Amino acid sequence: MENLDVIRITPESRHKMGDQVVDERPLTVYLNDKEIVTLLCSPMDERQLAVGFLVSEGFLGDKGELKDIILDRDKGLVWVQTKGRKTPRKESVFNRRPPNKELSFKRLIGSGCGKAAMFYNAIDKLKRKTIVSKKRFLREDLFSAMDKFQRSSELFKSTGGVHSAALSDGKDLLVIKEDIGRHNAVDKVFGQCLLDDVSTKDKILLSSGRLSSEIVLKVQKREVPIAVSRSAPTDQAVKLARDLNMTLVGFARGKRMNVYSNDWRIV
């Protein structure tokens, strides 16, 4: 956990306070020297995560097959060695949501350098694409947009298990989409915008889900200056948003919100 400065905004007040933000780190799992996957995770119990992941994916059956587990926590790397030196089937590591290229590419080409260095190399690359929008939004408009967003997604709440995402211009919800996956809901919004020629610049992205580094990168790619969620951000999401000149708002519930970066856009 990291203690970060946050601006707490309500209809009547605006003040700086400290907030505990959860850590998010990449962990790359190797099985017998073959790279299997990079997971974004909470950096604790990494050995258990690596072993449990390999069990869940069918690479590992029981403890007797294990020879060694070596963790380099600083670099975010874990090597699992088995006695039989099984080689994973190719198809098992091919499909499903791919990584974000910006964050994973460095890791794929060189696993010798430190995790932090990789992260910050990736961020350096992204800095060239910082958000340029100078647009400011009234806090009342953000509260109102979030209120509309939550009421609109009530429709689907009969089932309980759905995430929502929306694009707002500060007055109306221009696009709203729902999905069982928080990534999918955001992708559907941006897909709709592209198909309907709705500009995403100078707009607000609203989400019901956690704000992770991957969501921040999606939002940055569409040059959206503000991302607002009723859920929590991770530490990496906050750091990225600060570097990318993006305004990141978490815990937007009722008439309150926590602004983790670039609060000047909210007046």
The residues assigned a catalytic role are 113
Give 12 or 132: the residue with its C-beta nearer to its own copies. Answer: 132
Kindly tell me which residue out of 31, 38, 225, 244 binds its own copies, with binding defined by CB under 8 A.
38
For its own copies, which is the closer residue by CB, 42 or 81?
A: 42
Whether 25 contacts 40, CB under 8 Å: yes
Report the alpha-carbon distance of residue 18 to residue 251 in Å, rounded.
14
The distance of closest approach from Cβ of residue 223 to its own copies in the complex, given in angstroms and rounded to an integer, is 12
Q: Is 24 in the site for its own copies (CB under 8 A)?
A: yes
Judge whether 264 and 238 are in contact, CB under 8 Å. no
Rounded Cα gap, residues 191 and 121, in angstroms: 29
CB of 267 to its own copies, least distance (A): 26
The least CB distance from residue 138 to its own copies, in Å, is 26
Q: Does 192 bind its own copies (CB under 8 A)?
A: yes
Strands (E), the chain: 2-9, 14-21, 25-31, 34-41, 66-72, 77-82, 163-168, 173-179, 204-207, 226-229, 247-253, 256-261
- Tokens coding 152: 């609109």
Counting contacts by CB under 8 A, is residue 111 touching its own copies? no
Give 178's contacts (C-beta < 8 A, 6+ positions apart).
153, 156, 162, 163, 164, 165, 185
Given candidates 74, 92, 125, 147, which one binds its own copies under the rule CB under 8 A? 92
Q: Which is nearer to its own copies, 53 or 137 (CB)?
A: 53
Q: Applying CB under 8 A, which of residues 12, 68, 84, 98 lies at the interface with its own copies? A: 98
Question: Binding segment for its own copies among 14-22, 112-120, 121-129, 259-267 (CB under 8 A)?
Answer: 14-22
Footprint of its own copies on 152-191 (CB under 8 A): 156, 158-162, 177-181, 183-184, 186-191
In 10 A of CB 194, how many CB atoms? 11
Place of tokens 């978490």: 250
Polymer length of the chain:
267
Contacts (Cβ under 8 Å, ≥6 apart) of 80? 29, 30, 31, 32, 50, 51, 54, 60, 66, 68, 69
**Of residues 34, 67, 97, 135, which one binds its own copies by CB under 8 A?**
97
Residues of span 193-212 touching its own copies by CB under 8 A:
194-195, 197, 210, 212
Would you count residue 227 as binding its own copies (CB under 8 A)? no
Least distance to its own copies, CB of residue 136, Å? 26
Considering only 108, 113, 116, 138, the residue that binds its own copies (CB under 8 A) is: 108
| 260 lies in the site for its own copies, by CB under 8 A | no
Please report whether residue 6 would count as binding its own copies according to CB under 8 A. Answer: no
Residues of this chain, 47-66, that bind its own copies according to CB under 8 A? 47-53, 55-58, 60, 62-63
C-alpha torsion angle, residues 47, 184, 241, 206 (rounded to 10): -130
